[in-house]
Amino acid sequence: MQTQSRHNYKEVTLLVVDDDDIDAIALERALRKLRLLNTLHRARDGLEALTLLRSGVISPPYIILLDLNMPRMNGLEFLEALRADPILTHAVVFVLTTSKSDEDLVAAYRKHVAGYVFKQHMDRDFLEVIGLIEHYWRIVELPVNKEMS
């Protein structure tokens, strides 16, 4: 039974787009703590993330965890580029940010993000977020880009 259910879903790849090393390490630690072995990729800004995605290094299905405040190309600009890309437009994105601004929130949902998570508390956040995302990928069918491209 157990082996059966394991094969029912494909292991999801995570792409963290965040310029802050600490947030990236925190996500890694949260995955480890929950004993999840998903592949974790890291980009430091929107441009790096686009390059990674377009290079095909990141195997679908994947979920993008996106920070908003970043150098060069920020989160909202990244979403803009993502949705304009015929292949990447299907990507599932969760915004993880310290920005409480309503404008940012509305703008992010306008770009069809799956969720806008506010990093308010200093602790527990990443555990909860990773927990949420783990449930999400076990239950939700994710697009598999390869077939579309």
Q: How far is the CB of 44 from another protein (least distance, A)?
A: 5
**Residue 42 near another protein by CB under 8 A:** no
**Residue 100 near another protein by CB under 8 A:** yes
Map residue 38 onto helix, strand or coil.
coil
Which lies closer to another protein via its Cβ, residue 64 or residue 73?
Answer: 73
Taking CB under 8 A as the binding criterion, the range among 8-16, 55-63, 78-86, 94-102 that sits at the site for another protein is 94-102
H or E element: which one contains 137? helix 125-139
Classify residue 126 by burial, with Cβ atoms within 10 Å: 0-12, 13-18, 19+. buried
Which lies closer to another protein via its Cβ, residue 123 or residue 147?
Answer: 123
Q: Report d(CA 68, CA 108) in Å as an integer.
A: 9
Map residue 62 onto helix, strand or coil.
strand
| 13, 44, 49, 50: residue in contact with another protein (rule CB under 8 A) | 44
Which lies closer to another protein via its Cβ, residue 124 or residue 146?
Answer: 124
Q: Report d(CA 143, CA 89) in Å as an integer.
A: 10
Closest C-alpha among 149, 113, 112 to residue 133: 113
Q: How far is the CB of 17 from another protein (least distance, A)?
A: 11
Q: Report d(CA 84, CA 99) in Å as an integer.
A: 24
| 11, 54, 56, 98: residue in contact with another protein (rule CB under 8 A) | 98
Q: Give me the residues that bind another protein (CB under 8 A), please.
A: 19-23, 25-26, 29, 44-45, 69-72, 98-101, 119, 122-123
